Chains A and B, each alone.
Chain A
Amino acid sequence: MVAGGVTYFSKARKDKTQEELVAEAARMALYDNDINLDKSEIDGSVTGYFSDHFEQQLKFGAIITDYLGLNPKSHVRIEGGGATGGLAIREGYAQVASGLLDVVMVIGFEKMSEVNTAKGNEFIALASDTDFDFPVGGYYSGYYALMARRHMEEFGTTEEQMAMVAVKNRNNAQHNKFAQTNPKMNPYGMKDGGSIKVEDVLKSPYIAYPLKRLDICLMSDGASVAILASEEKAKKITDTPVWITGSGAGSDAMRAGDRPRDKKSLPLLPHEKPEWYKNLDYPGVHSFRAGREAARQAYKMAGITNPLKQLDVIELHDAYTSSEIQTYEDLGLAKYGDGGKLVQEGQTLVDGEVAVNPSGGLIGNMHAVGATGIMQAVEVFWQLQGVAGKFHGSDKTQVKGAETGLIHSHAGTGTYVTVSVLRR
């Protein structure tokens, strides 16, 4: 990876069209990173966007390649729900690694504000089973609430631990000028944003027990762009490229209830021992098998044998505070059941053992669905280059001396998950 760019994220960027927002992020990627790359050297593009419903425009990718002046070069659209961005990065990586293209612009975007929030929730809910789950009133906060309650039952995870995730991510976002919840630095930020305390989360209204308003991610307008290049090209473009050393992808049942609950479905990571989990029915509705599988593949490829020690910075898909805790376990940062303790001990703070979501993540920074996984790549890229502070407008987000990072992109109730390992 040689360059990255993002927009200011906002509940509603009415000031620009979708393609104008993409141009804002692409311009940053091309001109604000320290690179020697002319736009004409880009061989093709990948666009990632989730729903055609939000803007009542199908085949938006064609508008984007035209608007960015990338025609007549190669282009493909990637869609995979919440994991769209991570899958787009993986596609761009595959195109470069296979030798098909030398330089690829990976572009993610979503403009969710053109419909009301309940309609937006409904569109997202239509990315669940529409014969059996959606018709009974199922929607994502509901599915995650059911999973979170089972996680609490199974492992003793608490609402306070979940609130600590919200506080960490929201407060990290207060030092990132692009973040939607940062009204001090982001001209398009939420007026009622700002830093929060555990009590604020616990007092916020329930959406679906145990999840409260402040446990749940944002809905955003915005775009993000990553430029990937072959090894040879990358060394010419920049003195500080970031290498994608591992890429993994997993999948699971659309209906979380259809996932197995048995002892044999758990793939172990290199540092784990079978006796840890001899009483664990897996994945059930408390864990994400696709995330575990994606991590297993990416760790194997990148030589990660002890993730908590080897990884310095992670941007992970915190759609819900509960799912950040669940994902700690799937990624092997904590044993199954110990995810809540990891955040409680402060191990995932910016200056903790492994910084998780220093950008603010989906709870503090943004969730413009197709842009999210690519935002994560851009954030970890800047972290590994040591320039996160420069871009964020505050040095408080920079993870000191970060050498190895991870991005985790997640769809549905864990239907598609991608994990990539990045190294300085």
Chain B
Amino acid sequence: MTEVFSIDPLIIKNDYYIEYRHSYGKTSPFFTNLAKGKIMATHCEHCNKTYLPPRNDCPECLRETKWVEISGKGTIHTFSTMYFAGEKFLKDVPFYLAYVELEGVDTLFLTRIKTKNPEKLKIGMKIKLKTARDPEWRATDVWAEPDE
């Protein structure tokens, strides 16, 4: 039976579900190394730049990059508390997002911050990336925690 919300105008319910088989391509080692507790970034030897999120191809020179392990230590560049979210993440609010500056990395990395003391979060605070013991093979397998 079609669900009907209104007769004039006539409003009915439609839905749509899609399953994707999503490949991480050449960035796959980032996710598989997280499962081993290692944080990997990509480095362009020609431009001397290190990218995280990783890129197989350097955007500056289009040469292929190489994987390098990073310490995962860094600082908060900016952060915010999410009191609302897209439908998929409404169950998680409130949660904390930050762009972090990481040792040896030229880009900023967007990640969640997990902390029992959110009131102490501030720009410039030292953090360290942590990895999940049971991987979900998603970007949520890595997050930041205060390191001071």
Contact A257 B108 (CB under 8 A): yes
Q: Judge if B2 is at the interface, Cβ distance under 8 Å.
A: no
Contact A131 B27 (CB under 8 A): yes
Q: How far is the CB of B148 from chain A (nearest CB, A)?
A: 18
Provide the residues of chain B in CB contact with A208, threshold 8 Å.
80-84, 97
| Per-position 1/0 for B9-24, Cβ under 8 A of A | 1010010100000001
Contact B85 A15 (CB under 8 A): no
- Once A131-B139, A207-B84, A208-B80 are accepted as A-B contacts, the answer to whether A255 and B14 lie under 8 Å apart by CB is no
Q: How far is the CB of B31 from chain A (nearest CB, A)?
A: 9
Q: Judge if B67 is at the interface, Cβ distance under 8 Å.
A: no
Query: Which single residue of chain A is at the shortest CB-CB distance from B10?
Result: A14
Chain B interface, number of residues (Cβ within 8 angstroms): 40
Instruction: Among A119, A133, A141, A255, point to the contact of B84 (Cβ < 8 A).
Output: A141
Chain A interface, number of residues (Cβ within 8 angstroms): 40
Query: Which single residue of chain A is at the shortest CB-CB distance from B108?
Result: A257
Q: How far is the CB of B49 from chain A (nearest CB, A)?
A: 10
| Per-position 1/0 for B75-103, Cβ under 8 A of A | 00111111111111110100101110000
Provide the residues of chain A in CB contact with B78, threshold 8 Å.
146-147, 149-150, 153, 285
Contact A257 B27 (CB under 8 A): no
A208 to B51, CA, bound (A): 27
Instruction: Among A122, A131, A142, A147, point to the contact of B87 (Cβ < 8 A).
Output: A122
Q: Judge if B138 is at the interface, Cβ distance under 8 Å.
A: yes
A122 to B84, CA, bound (A): 11
Contact B80 A56 (CB under 8 A): no
Contact B81 A133 (CB under 8 A): no
Contact B138 A135 (CB under 8 A): yes
Q: How far is the CB of A201 from chain B (nearest CB, A)?
A: 16
Contact A121 B11 (CB under 8 A): no
Query: Which single residue of chain B is at the shortest CB-CB distance from A151?
Result: B78
User: Of residues 116 to 168 in A, which have CB atoms within 8 Å of B's CB atoms?
Assistant: 116, 118-119, 121-122, 125, 129, 131-139, 141-142, 145-147, 149-150, 153
Provide the residues of chain B in CB contact with A149, threshold 8 Å.
78-80, 123
A210 to B80, CA, bound (A): 8
Q: How far is the CB of B92 from chain A (nearest CB, A)?
A: 6
A210 to B83, CA, bound (A): 11
Q: How far is the CB of B43 from chain A (nearest CB, A)?
A: 15
Contact A14 B6 (CB under 8 A): yes
A16 to B8, CA, bound (A): 11
Q: Judge if A258 is at the interface, Cβ distance under 8 Å.
A: yes
Contact A56 B111 (CB under 8 A): no
Query: Which single residue of chain B is at the shortest CB-CB distance from A13?
Result: B9
Q: Judge if B104 is at the interface, Cβ distance under 8 Å.
A: no
Contact B82 A137 (CB under 8 A): yes
User: Of residues 87 to 132 in A, which have CB atoms within 8 Å of B's CB atoms?
Assistant: 116, 118-119, 121-122, 125, 129, 131-132
Q: Judge if B29 is at the interface, Cβ distance under 8 Å.
A: no
A135 to B140, CA, bound (A): 7
Which of B97, B112, B140 has the most chain A CB atoms inside 10 A of its CB?
B97
Q: Judge if A205 is at the interface, Cβ distance under 8 Å.
A: yes
Instruction: Among A56, A150, A258, point to the contact of B14 (Cβ < 8 A).
Output: A56
Q: Judge if B125 is at the interface, Cβ distance under 8 Å.
A: no
Q: Judge if A67 is at the interface, Cβ distance under 8 Å.
A: no
- Once A132-B53, A206-B81 are accepted as A-B contacts, the answer to whether A257 and B110 lie under 8 Å apart by CB is yes
Provide the residues of chain B in CB contact with A131, threshold 8 Å.
24, 27, 53, 139
Query: Which single residue of chain A is at the shortest CB-CB distance from B98?
Result: A146
User: Of residues 63 to 83 in B, which have CB atoms within 8 Å of A's CB atoms?
Assistant: 77-83
Q: Which residues of B contact A (CB under 8 A)?
A: 6, 9, 11, 14, 16, 24, 27, 51, 53, 59, 77-90, 92, 95, 97-99, 107-112, 123, 138-140, 143
Q: Which residues of A contact B (CB under 8 A)?
A: 14-16, 56, 116, 118-119, 121-122, 125, 129, 131-139, 141-142, 145-147, 149-150, 153, 205-210, 255-258, 261, 285
Report the 4 A-B pairs with minimum CB-CB distance, sorted nearest first.
Answer: A257-B108, A122-B86, A145-B80, A150-B78
Q: What are 18 residue pairs bridging A and B, where the CB atoms are less than 8 Å apart in the complex?
A: A14-B6, A14-B9, A56-B16, A118-B90, A122-B88, A131-B24, A131-B27, A131-B139, A139-B89, A142-B80, A145-B82, A149-B79, A150-B77, A205-B83, A208-B83, A258-B108, A285-B78, A285-B108
